[in-house]
Amino acid sequence: MPFFSLLRVVQVGFKSLRLHKLRSSLTMLGMVIGVWAVITLVAIGEGASQDAQEAIKRLGAQNVIIRSVKPLSDKTQLQGRGMEWETIYGLKNVDAARIQDTVPGVKRVLPILSQRKNVKHGRREVDCQLIGTYPYYPDFTQSKIVAGQFLNEAEENSKAASCVITLELAERLFAGHNPLMEKVIVRGFESSQVFQVKGILQERVDTEKLPQEADALGRTISANVYIPLSAFKSLYGIKNIDRSVGSLSVERVELTEIRVEFGSVEEVIPAIPLLKDALDKRRKGVVDYEIQVPINELNTLKAQKARDTRMLMYIACISLLVGGIGIMNIMLATVTERTREIGVRRALGATRVDITIQFLAETLMLCLIGGGIGVVGGWGFAEFRHNILHTTTIVTNWSVVVAFGLSVMVGLVFGLYPARRAAHLDPIEALRHA
């Protein structure tokens, strides 16, 4: 088709749309909502997926996390004042040493011991997680020191009463004041100890997005206090006491958690059976630990993300389908209204192809304009959600292309039948139409 003929078709199409502004606007609304839905739903899904993937990646794809788990039946009753129950379970120092020495590919091992305590400064007191660990904890977990410094080897060797607190705890406990070199009191069941704050740590995991990795015990608490592992064992031991009505519950756990770093991602999966063999020795069939493999979770998450994306696309495509049906109904009504116009154009020499192209062009104009508005609206909503509501929302190029392409396809598919119906009207009968 010559350029000037195409331009004429576009001009006639726009004129027709302007003559029925309300109807044209309502018709385009279906396309706007459909394209908007595609871009918005995919953006939300991509954002949520990225948050979860980043959280898992920050755990380290080359890392394995082993946690102590209380077995269902390993309780012994001890006589004493009242009723006292004691449970001995979980990971031990010898487990960490055995893993380091016997499992191939292990780069380093990070032991962790953790208990619930209260930390106090002045009149402020916060429920916290007291974590004993080694100086390379921030590097191992990709956490960030935002002020001061982390624990060092000298403090580990001397069992120093030094501590590092999380950023959240610093804000809650010191209310905007500089906590460095200040003293805090960590209160337990049997004793209280004074520690000097030497650093502030920003946790590498968002507890709202991945709560099971919020702390060393998997709790959603980020108000953590880090002290040398040697100081933890010296001051508090491995006995965790919980008082209930009329009795005491005592748990003895040498290590709450062991994190294992491998030299490469490829070494992780083959090493899992060897890790289990190293841990199962001397346990006599008692399973008092669990192994978490972030790389497996990452792969599972990617598969789930693909399924979720497809589901969101299906939902959004239904919106486009409904919009397409609405466009076809409106165009069929338009053909009926313009029957006499079609008859006049046929009498003046217009071919069936010309009539088909004219009505198909008008349908495409509705879809293109509606699709364009939907793209802008979906992108704008995603930006609002990301920048104002501070929720990760990612508009991908492929979602824009797919959404806009679907709107064009809908215009072609649902506009073809009304266009062909207009083209096949009998010119004589059309001229007789009142």
Give residue-wise pLDDT tens across range 330-382: 777 777 777 777 777 777 777 778 777 777 777 878 888 888 888 888 888 88
pLDDT computed for residue 403 by the predictor: 79
Q: What is the distance between the alpha carbons of residues 67 and 61, in angstroms, rounded to a whole number?
A: 17
pLDDT averaged over every residue in the chain: 78
In this model, does residue 407 exceed pLDDT 50?
yes
Neighbours of 118 (CB within 10 A): 14
* pLDDT per position as a tens digit, 74-130: 444 444 444 456 778 889 889 999 999 989 889 899 999 998 888 999 888 888 889
Q: What is the distance between the alpha carbons of residues 119 and 170, in angstroms, rounded to a whole number?
A: 11
Task: Please report, for the chain, the start and end positions of each structural domain, with discontinuous segments joined by +.
Answer: 3-54+301-432, 70-287
CA angle 352, 358, 364 (to 5 degrees): 130
Q: What is the distance between the alpha carbons of residues 320 and 407, in angstroms, rounded to a whole number?
A: 7
State the Cα torsion 135-137-139-145 to the nearest 10°: -80
pLDDT computed for residue 84 by the predictor: 53
The gap from C-alpha 180 to its chain's centroid, in whole angstroms, comes to 34
pLDDT computed for residue 378 by the predictor: 85
The gap from C-alpha 127 to its chain's centroid, in whole angstroms, comes to 27
* pLDDT per position as a tens digit, 227-257: 999 999 888 877 666 554 455 667 788 899 9
In this model, does residue 4 exceed pLDDT 70?
no
Residue 281 sits at φ, ψ, to 5 deg, of -65, 135
Q: What is the distance between the alpha carbons of residues 353 and 370, in angstroms, rounded to a whole number?
A: 25
pLDDT computed for residue 58 by the predictor: 60
* pLDDT per position as a tens digit, 296-313: 666 666 667 667 767 766
Q: Would residue 105 be called left, alpha or beta, if left means φ above 0 and alpha means ψ between -120 and 50 degrees?
A: left
pLDDT computed for residue 7 by the predictor: 66
